[in-house]
Amino acid sequence: MDLPFSDADPDDVLVYRKDVYVQPEPVEFEPPVLDQYLGHFEGESGSPEIPSKGTLNSTEFDTLNFEIEAVSDMHYLHMDGPGSEQTKRGADPLNREPDATIELVPFDPDEIESFHHYIVSHLAYQIRDCFLRMGVKPPVAFRQTGWGKYRAFHEQKFRPQYENYWDATADIQSWEPK
């Protein structure tokens, strides 16, 4: 396999990134898309109760119709030790911030059943990481373990206030950062 950095070792941390741009602009919805999504879960944010599939009005989801407007070229992050990080950015197709960034580490595709589910889960883990990095307990819909944001992984692995939320096999004791 060709590695994007001449000094990269296959055992080094390597993150493949692609920026995704959607339309219409997701921050322009009222109420915000996240609030609409969380509105489909009963109870407080900490409640594990999820409504049955039959109670959801699927026509509401039709109004949340997004199209992928553009996807960047591949970006790379290479880390071969503490404080030794290199990045290589591909071309950005639009002159604005992306709506999402897919950040994947190398994995065996035979280990997953659905790539679509894998990517959707990855984005949900990124939302979880945003809450945790703000010091906030994530809403119940996002309390799952798995790889989210690279920076969050780094913090969760090396800072004592976090558990290993990035580890899909971890037994999480608390969703509240210490």
Q: Contact 156/165 with Cβ under 8 angstroms?
A: yes
Arithmetic mean of pLDDT, 127-156: 91
pLDDT at position 158 over 70 = yes
| Cα gap 8→68, rounded to integer Å | 32
Domain extent listing, the chain: 13-158
Arithmetic mean of pLDDT, 158-163: 91
Per the listing, tokens 């096999």 go with 169
Lowest mean pLDDT, pick from 75-84, 92-101, 149-158: 75-84
Confidence of residue 7 (pLDDT cuts 50, 70, 90): confident
Q: Token pair of 122, please?
A: 């990855």
pLDDT at position 46 over 60 = no
pTM of the model: 0.77
> C-alpha dihedral over 169, 172, 176, 178, to 10 degrees?
-100
pLDDT at position 49 over 60 = no
Arithmetic mean of pLDDT, 23-36: 72
| Cα gap 26→68, rounded to integer Å | 11
Arithmetic mean of pLDDT, 16-36: 79
pLDDT at position 47 over 60 = no
Q: What is the pLDDT of residue 92?
A: 94
